[in-house]
Amino acid sequence: MSTTEPQRTGAPAPPDLAVRLADVVADGVAADAAARRALAIGGVVPGLVCTPADHEQLARAVAATAAAGAALVPLGLGAHRTLGHAPARYDVALVTRRLDRIRDYTPADMTITVEAGVPVAALQHLLATEGQWLPLEPPLPARTTVGGLIAADLVGAPVAAQGRVRDFVIGIGAVTAAGRPVRAGGKVVKNVAGYDLMKLVTGSLGTLAVVSEATFKVRPRPATLRTLVVDAGGAPAALALAEQIAIGRVDPLAATVLLDLDGGVRRARLLVRLAGIAADVGVAERRLATLARAAGATVQVVQDRDPSARLLVEEVRDLVRTGVDGDLVVRLAVLPRRAAACAAALVAGAGSERARLHVDVGAGRLTLAVTAAAPAGALAALAGVATAHAGHLVVERWPDALAATIEVWCPLPAALPLMRRMKAALDPRGTLAPGRFVGRI
C-alpha cells in the first residue's frame, strides 16, 4: 500500500465500543495510533484493534461489535488486506493471529484441523515432518494465516495441477455476523455436510462470516521436486513453448513464463517445476527436453535444495504482494488457449513502463506488476485487454489515490444481484467488512 496518500478514518465508532470489547477481550484491545495505522486498508484506519485469544472471545467480540451497530474487518497477519475495496466502515480490525492452535492431526487420516490464525508456513512445516503437504502456495506464506488463505482464496502456481483452496477444505468453523459460532463439514474426507457454506465463505474476504478454524485434506509430499529454467530466446518463443508443455504430457507442478519489461521485453524465462516420484519426474524432464530442443531452447536444471530454486519460486509466488509502493498489480484470468495472445497484448500495451509479467498458460492466469506514471489510465487499458480476450481482471494492489474510484473486479459478475441478496440475508446490519467485496458489497 502506498504511504504517500493521506490516511483517513470512517465514521466515528460508538463511544462505548472499546469498553464493550475490553469486557470480552481484556488484554486484546488496542487504540493507539501506531497499531491502528499498521492495519489501514486503502488509506482507511480502524478505530480499534481487537485480538481475541480463543474461539469464545472471537464470537463474543463479533457479537459486541454487532450489538453496538459498528463494523469490523477480519484479518490474520494483514499481509493480504490490499485485496478488495477499502471498507465503507472500519470501526474494528478483528485480528485472529492468536487463534494459532493445531486442533487435530492424525497423519494416517491425511486430514488436519487448525485454528484460523495458524500461518500457512507453520502448517506446511508440521505436515512436512510426516511426509505430507497442503499443495497450495499463497503469497508470503509466513505472513498468511489459514483464515486469510480461505477468505482471500489464495491459489498459487500449482493451481492447474493441484486444485484450488476450496478443493482442500473439508470442514470449517466460523462466526456469523451476529456472533454465533457455526460449523460445516467435518474431519472425514467423505463428509459432505455443509458443502455450500464452505464454498460460500471461501474467497468472500470476510464479508459473510469470520473463519475460526478449518479442516484440510492433505496429500503425500512429492518424493522428488525439480526446477528447470528454460531460455527460449524471447517472449513469443517462451509462450509458445509453455503452450506445448501444457498439452505435451509433461504434467508439471507449475509452468510460468517470466517476462521483465522495460520499453520492451528485457528478459524472458520459462520456469517449470516437476514433482512426483523420481521415475515420473525423470520421464517428464526428458519430455520437456525434447520439446525444448525442438524449439531451439536451452534447459538448466536446478535442484530443489539449491537456494536459486527457492528464490525463483518465491519470485513467482510473491509478485502480487511485493514490489514498490504505488505499483499497480493486476491478475487476469482467461481461457488457457487465450493466455499467450493476452500476454502479447499486455507486452505491447506496456510501452515504456517498467513491469513484470508472469504467465501461467496452463491455468490461463497472468499477473502483471507495473510502475505506471498514470495508474488510472493504465488500469483502464488493462481492463480493455481482459475484455478483448473474454477474460476477467482482479486488481490485487493499487495506489491509495485510486481507492475511491477503482473497481477491483472487472467486469462485475452477472450474479451480483444474487450476491447482494446473500450479503443482506447473512449480514443485514453490515457488520462484516462492509464495502470490501465485489461491487462494494
**Given a cut of 80, is residue 44 above it in pLDDT?**
yes
The stretch 145-167 carries a mean pLDDT of 95
CATH classification of 324-410, choosing from 1.10.10, 3.30.70, 3.40.50, 3.90.550? 3.30.70
> Torsion angle of alpha carbons 367, 7, 87, 63, nearest 10°?
130
Binned at pLDDT 50, 70 and 90, residue 352 comes out as: confident
209 has a pLDDT exceeding 90: yes
DSSP classification of residue 325: T
Q: Residue 405 — pLDDT band, cuts 50, 70, 90?
A: confident
Strands (E) located in 304-377: 328-333, 354-360, 365-371
Is 70 exceeded by the pLDDT of residue 2?
no
Contact present, 12 and 49 (Cβ < 8 Å): no
CATH fold for domain 223-317? Alpha-Beta Plaits (3.30.70)
Instruction: Map out the domains of the chain as residue ranges.
Output: 8-98+430-440, 102-220, 223-317, 324-410
Q: 324-410: same fold as 223-317? A: yes
Q: How far is CA 348 from CA 18, 242, 357, in A?
A: 53, 19, 12
Does residue 5 have a pLDDT over 50? no
Q: Are strands 92-95 and 44-45 parallel, antiparallel or unpaired?
A: unpaired
Q: Which CATH class is domain 102-220?
A: alpha beta
Q: Distance between CA 324 and CA 306 in Å, rounded?
A: 27
Q: According to the model, what pLDDT value does residue 198 have?
A: 85
Residue in the block written with cell 479442516: 215
Take residue 180 and report the three cell numbers written for it. 454465533
Sole residue written with cell 485480538 = 51
| Mean pLDDT computed over every residue of the chain | 91
> Does residue 415 surpass a pLDDT of 70?
yes
Express as a percent the part of the chain with pLDDT over 70: 94
- Burial class for 377, CB neighbours closer than 10 Å (0-12, 13-18, 19+): exposed
pLDDT of residue 1: 39
Helix (H, G, I), strand (E, B) or coil at 72: strand
Architecture category of domain 8-98+430-440 in CATH: 2-Layer Sandwich (3.30)
What does the pLDDT look like over 96-154, one tens digit per residue?
999 999 999 999 999 999 999 999 999 999 999 999 999 999 999 999 999 999 999 99
- In this prediction, residues 29-46 reach a mean pLDDT of 93
Q: What is the pLDDT of residues 286-345, one digit of tens each?
A: 999 999 999 999 999 987 678 888 898 999 999 988 866 668 999 999 999 999 999 999
Q: Degrees (nearest 5) of the Cα angle 32, 35, 36?
A: 85
Largest CA distance in the chain: 71
Kindly report, residue by residue over 179-193, the tens digit of the pLDDT.
999 999 877 655 555
